[in-house]
Amino acid sequence: MKLSARSIISAACILSVVVGITGSPAAGLQPGDAYRAIKAAKKIRIGVSKDYPPLNFNGGERGVEIEMANQLGDFLGVSVELVPLEVSEYAAAIEKRAVDAVIGGYSRNLARGRTVWFSEPYLSVTPGVLADARSLPKTSFGDTFEQAPFATLWDIKRLPGFRFAVKKGSAYEHILETDFPDNPRRVVASNEAALSLIDKREADGFVHDSLYLEYLYANSAGLRNAYILLGGGNRIERICVGLPFGDTVLKNQVDLFVLEIIRLGHIEKWLERYSKKK
């Protein structure tokens, strides 16, 4: 069968579009390279958060994601080395092959997806804010509302003076930049520093994901007495495993693993186990 010049040009254009959409493997990394390196070393290096309950306590001591990391090692037939990282270090650690994967409350977005591949999601969360009750308008039972009450993070757009605290490098720093550009914000190095700011009234609210904030709120009477927890409504963040860009073999294996631990109910079981403070 002969192909016309037009057919060849059309096929080339289609291929260019597909490559442009899907991207190409990271420089020097061919499909299967990362997977083969893990198998050859008989070890997978997994980046984890330094402290992110209930997903991770004390840089890998225990937690949902630590259970998950160990089970991934079992599935691949290799040992596991945990590498505690800051959120802002995740992408670079994957790109430089300092780790083979990141399991650390890593939510996917378009900016991150340019250099990191993401697995199927294993958790869904919403943005949230732990807001100082004194910073929100007061209402009493029986009051007639002149405006809708504050029910979600997005309602705080009605308070241009509300001061946010947020961890550097988190997805929630980006949300504040794009959705709350006029609100003052303090960007800090750790979650503990953000909590300290709202405790000292140097910020009115701490923005993070709903899972982490719910853990703090449920396990602290002090927080429940002084703060209000507002969720993110319909805005969903997907938590995934971060992987080297371009290794389809490793991604396929991790996707299978994630889907199976969800199907078997492991994530729900681990969340129940670690959501209450010991």
Q: Which pLDDT score is estimated for 32?
A: 86
For residues 134 and 186, give the distance between their C-alpha atoms in angstroms, rounded to a whole number. Answer: 19
For residues 84 and 102, give the distance between their C-alpha atoms in angstroms, rounded to a whole number. Answer: 10
Query: String of b and e for 124-153 (b: at least 16 CB within 10 Å)?
Result: ebbbbbbbbeebbeeeeeeeeeeeeebebb
| 63 and 201 within one domain | no
Q: Which pLDDT score is estimated for 31?
A: 81
Mean predicted confidence (pLDDT) in 97-114: 95
Provide the domain count of the chain.
2
When pLDDT is cut at 50, 70 and 90, the band that residue 275 belongs to is: very high
| 117 and 36 within one domain | yes
Q: Which pLDDT score is estimated for 146?
A: 55
Asked if pLDDT for residue 238 goes beyond 90, the answer is yes
Q: Which pLDDT score is estimated for 278?
A: 66
| 41 and 86 within one domain | yes
Q: Which domain holds residue 56?
A: 27-124+237-274
Range in 18-27, 182-191, 268-277 the model is least confident about: 18-27
| 133 and 114 within one domain | no
Instruction: State the CATH number of the domain containing residue 173.
Output: 3.40.190.10
Residue 85 counted as domain residue: yes
| 214 and 249 within one domain | no
| 168 and 252 within one domain | no
Asked if pLDDT for residue 271 goes beyond 70, the answer is yes
pTM of the model: 0.83
| 244 and 119 within one domain | yes
Asked if pLDDT for residue 184 goes beyond 90, the answer is yes
Q: Which pLDDT score is estimated for 29?
A: 67
Round the average pLDDT of the chain to a whole number and report it.
88
pLDDT in tens, 30-80: 788 999 999 999 999 999 999 999 999 998 999 999 999 999 999 999 999
Q: Which pLDDT score is estimated for 13?
A: 43
H/E element holding 199?
helix 191-199
When pLDDT is cut at 50, 70 and 90, the band that residue 272 belongs to is: very high
